[in-house]
Structure 1
Amino acid sequence: MTDNSEMNKKIFAKNFNYYLAINNKTQADIVSDLKITASTVSDWANAKKYPRVDKMQMLADYFGILKSDLTEEHATSKLTDDVELQEYLEELKNRSEMRMLFSLAKGATKEDVEKAVRIIEALQKDE
């Protein structure tokens, strides 16, 4: 295999794992929801295989993104920020008043979510 092919697998795996995380999905969810074998999903997540075009489109549709979001390299800082965002969302997800954030968090930065939390908390204090 060419270095380019290996690089493409790594870029896809990084993006695939990122979209799993920000959508609060697991590899098992992909297996169940999209009827793809667990070994295939694992191979994608671990940069062992690259999906066929039809599977790539299926994943893009599933996450509500473009195929290019899965195949193109993105700024590392964005991915780092989003790991922090995922950790922050994990802390919030059990707070009922914060549940509406999960529909808004897609594509948001950690700062965006923190701002929304401050607004919601301020509104609750006014009640």
Structure 2
Amino acid sequence: MKRAEILKQLIDKTGLNTKAFAEKAGLPYTTLRSMLMRGVGGASVVNVIKVCKALGITVEQLEEMASTDNYDIKTIAAHHDGEDWTEEELEAIEKFKKFVRSERNKG
């Protein structure tokens, strides 16, 4: 369930609700809701990858966060170079950057 909790937090930080995020990730809302409620373990690898990709993280980064006892979502780089981003995606990146800066300022 730790992976699902981490995903919930990261999705919240995008500023999108679960339904809008599911659409962005290319998943049915019910699939994403199931992943977040029942855990990532029962989800298909393809769906986990889609969610991670929409968050701008790798599956390896999700695993690293989940394997840490006191995980703290601090920095996940969003690279703009070489990729076409929609306005909505750029907005989500900017919101996440603001979140990361605010976390940095708390320390």
Deviations 1:32-58 (A, max 9, x none): 223322221111111255321111211
| C-alpha distance in structure 2 between counterparts of 1:11 and 1:42, whole Å | 15
1:105 partner SS: helix
Q: Single out whichever of 42-51 and 13-22 deviates more from structure 2.
A: 42-51
Q: Max radius of gyration: which structure?
A: 1
Q: Does structure 1 residue 35 correspond to structure 2 residue 26?
A: yes
Structure with higher helix content: 1
| Pick aligned residue for 2:97 from 98, 101, 104 | 104
TM-score by length of 2: 0.59
Which residue in 2 is equivalent to 1:45? Answer: 36
Scaled by the length of structure 1, what TM-score is found? Answer: 0.51
| Equivalent position SS for 1:39 | helix
Structure 1 vs Structure 2 CA RMSD? 3.0
SS in 2 for 1:33: helix
Structure showing greater relative contact order (alpha-carbon pairs closer than 8 Å, 6 or more residues apart): 2
Alignment length, in residue pairs? 85
